Structure 1
Amino acid sequence: MKRAYTYSIIIPAKNESLNLCDLLPRLVEECLGAEIIVVNDGSEDRTSDLCVQYDVKEIRHQYSKGNGAAIKAGARAALGEIFVFMDGDGQHNPKEIVTLLDKLDEGYDMVVGARSSSSQASVVRWVANSVYNKLATFMVGHKVDDLTSGFRVVRAEKFREFIYLLPNGFSYPTTSTMAFFRAGYSVGYHPITALKREGKSHINLIKDGVRFLLIIFKVGTLYSPLKLFTPISALFFSLGLSYYAYTFWSVGRFTNMSALLFSTSLLIFLMGLVSEQITMLLYSGSHKESTNKNSD
């Protein structure tokens, strides 16, 4: 199907030649006319040879900078009006690019390929992703079906607005999804089936799991700080009130601990207010810069 826009397929890859030798010919055959970019993130295998063999564009990092850094390099170099991000580990089916683009054509700014529970690599990974999705849903106020999926299509102009926010590690999907929600852009989800990868994953479940969790709270403070700070403030206020009631009933006085808990509650709430103002300035500055670029 011929589309009215151009699109670029961006694939971060680190030592994934085993999977790329199957993925690249399928992309070349099925995505006629698309720009295909492989970001070689310091690979020590045949990745460069495969890019030459299948005549796809390669961006080579002299050393490994991380999945997010590879995504940013690909986005800066890509010429398409739409970006298609997919992993180089063979888990994403090229045939599903069409369905994601069709969903984008319905008026969305970003469409994420949402994996089913059967597509998760393990039960532990599924449980962790479920927790991330629920936390992100609370933060943004919209249902997040798959926060960490690396298979997504997005309008290039809008994605570039948030490149400076993206970390160099594995959490670019988390950051970009929540940033799009914060900016008021439309984010859609489409079910996909993740295939079994060949070779060993580069994700460390414990280290990167904690990192994903920290990223959610980090981006939560960028997205809606009061949603994060207010419950914590309320918790300390409740503790202070409860302790005051206990000490008033038992010894008939207001203690230093109650004062500390009340003060902590107030300070956390004020920090949330200040963070909210900073967030508004940050996104309003980003919007103005984008508007100026469009007018130029």
Structure 2
Amino acid sequence: MPEVNFENSPTDNSPIELTILLPAYNEENAIESLISEIRKAMTEWQGRFEILVVDDCSNDLTAAKAASSGARLISRIENGGSGASRKTGIREARGQLIAMLDADGSYDPASLPELLSYFPDYDQVNGARTSEQGTIKFLRVPIKWTIRKLAEFVSGKTIPDLNTGLKIFKRKQMQKYLWVIPDGFSCVTSMTLAFLCNGHPVKYIPVTYRKRIGKSKFHPIHDTLQYFLTVLRIITYFRPLRILAPLAFLLGMTGILRSIYHICSSPVLGITDSDVILIVSGLMILIAGMLADLIVKQRQS
């Protein structure tokens, strides 16, 4: 695949500049070394780029260390979460492309040049982690697998890593979907599904995943629930029939089969009220799904 020319140029199509966005909350132990790694990784890159740190009201030296390392710093006035920081960074970014990494040092910036080489052919390129380094693996792995399979069913695409924090995307395309991105940890899942469900070309590249520096802010029960609800919201926003149509079919067919059984086993009693409720419920869900799908199609046109 040919690489796009990122050289500075006065023409309308170039330079394609890059913002490397680091949402940060209490990452004083990792932020300086990460910024240094980013600069080293981008040494051979020919375009202009900025490193933008969005500090989410840290109560340590994260902001001071980011500023002293030469990054452009934006300090939020109230703590809003990982997604809120990312949305702030997307709105304030100067680059036409935005690369996002977690500020805890878990992603290796050396992967950035390879991910960048796939633009402009793709609208989003993600780093797919080859290992799980998070805490509570026995709980995280099966839950992530289940939700990822649901997301693959909805999007119709293979998704190696649904909630990777290493991704590069076209800023103008992502700005269309800021309204769907939540403030919490599930924000990166929304970013991926919004592109996949709306026909944007998305690519995955295997990347190494390192043990994070510092303490994790992940809350197993709360954040897992939000993760699952995020996928359900994306389904409702972009692909409602993917879930509602099978549900309607299941209820309707159950009602029809029960009706046949009751007619055959008790001709005098015939169809029961519960059979009718199941059939009507399936029909109502199907109609609601079709109306929702029509609204989505009109919004996308």
Note whether the superposition's TM-score is higher than 0.5.
Answer: yes
The one-letter code sitting in structure 2 at the alignment partner of 1:109 is: D
Q: Which residue does 2:184 correspond to in 1? A: 169
Are 1:50 and 2:65 an aligned pair? yes
1:135-168 CA distance string (max 9 Å, x none): 1111011111111111100011111111122111
- Aligned structure 1 segments of 4 or more residues deviating by more than 3 angstroms: 117-121
Q: For residues 1-296 of structure 1, what are the structure 2 equivalents within 5 Å?
A: 3-4=6-7, 5-31=16-42, 33-105=48-120, 107-119=121-133, 121=135, 122-252=137-267, 253-284=270-301
Q: Deviations over 1:174-196 (max 9, x none)?
A: 11111112221100000011100
Aligned positions, number: 283
Task: Kindly state the Cα deviation for residue 52 of structure 1 after the two structures are TM-superposed.
Answer: 2.0
1:11-55 deviation per Cα after TM superposition (whole angstroms, max 9, x unaligned): 111111111132122223433542111110111000111122111
Q: Partner of 1:276: helix, strand, or coil?
A: helix
Structure 2: any 5+ residue segments left out of the alignment?
8-15
Task: Identify unmatched segments of 5+ residues in structure 1.
Answer: 285-296
C-alpha RMSD of the superposition: 1.7
Contact 1:111/1:152, CA 8 A, preserved across alignment: yes
What letter corresponds to residue 170 of structure 2 in structure 1? R
Taking the aligned partners of 1:71 and 1:27, their CA distance within structure 2 comes to: 18
- Fraction of identical pairs, as percent: 29
Q: 1:272 to 1:216 in 2, by over 3 A?
A: same
Q: Equivalents in 2 of 1:119, 1:203: separation in Å? A: 13
Residue number in structure 2 paired with 1:294: none
**SS at 1:243's partner residue?**
helix
For residues 215-262 of structure 1, give each alpha carbon's deviation from its aligned partner in whole angstroms, at most 9, with x where no partner exists. Answer: 111101222111110111111112212321332233221111101001
The residue matched to 1:112 in structure 2 has which SS? strand
3-state SS, counterpart of residue 164 of structure 1: helix
Q: Deviations over 1:92-114 (max 9, x none)?
A: 11111111112335x11100111
Q: CA deviation at 1:118?
A: 4.8
Contact 1:240 1:262 in 2 (8 A): yes
Q: Supply the AA of the counterpart residue of 1:83.
A: I
Taking the aligned partners of 1:251 and 1:30, their CA distance within structure 2 comes to 75
Residues 118 and 204 from structure 1, CA distance in 2 versus in 1: closer, same or farther, beyond 3 angstroms? Answer: closer
Instruction: Go from structure 1 to structure 2 and tell me whether the alpha carbon gap of 1:120 and 1:193 turns closer, same or farther (over 3 Å shift).
Output: farther
1:120 and 1:204 map into 2 onto residues whose CA distance is 12
Higher helix share: 1
Q: Could you tell me how far 1:132 is from its partner in structure 2? A: 2.0
SS at 1:103 equivalent: coil
What does the per-residue CA deviation read over 1:102-133, in whole Å, with 9 as the maximum and x for residues that have no partner? Answer: 2335x111001111245555243222222222
Q: Distance in 2 between matches of 1:207 and 1:246?
A: 44
Query: Which deviates more, 234-243 or 43-52?
Result: 234-243
User: What amino acid is the match of 2:124?
Assistant: M
* 2:29 alignment partner, SS class: helix
CA distance in 2 between partners of 1:108 and 1:52 (Å): 32
> TM-score normalised to the size of structure 2?
0.89
What secondary structure, in the 3-state scheme, does the structure 1 residue paired with 2:117 have?
A: helix
Question: Residue type of the partner of 1:110?
Answer: Q
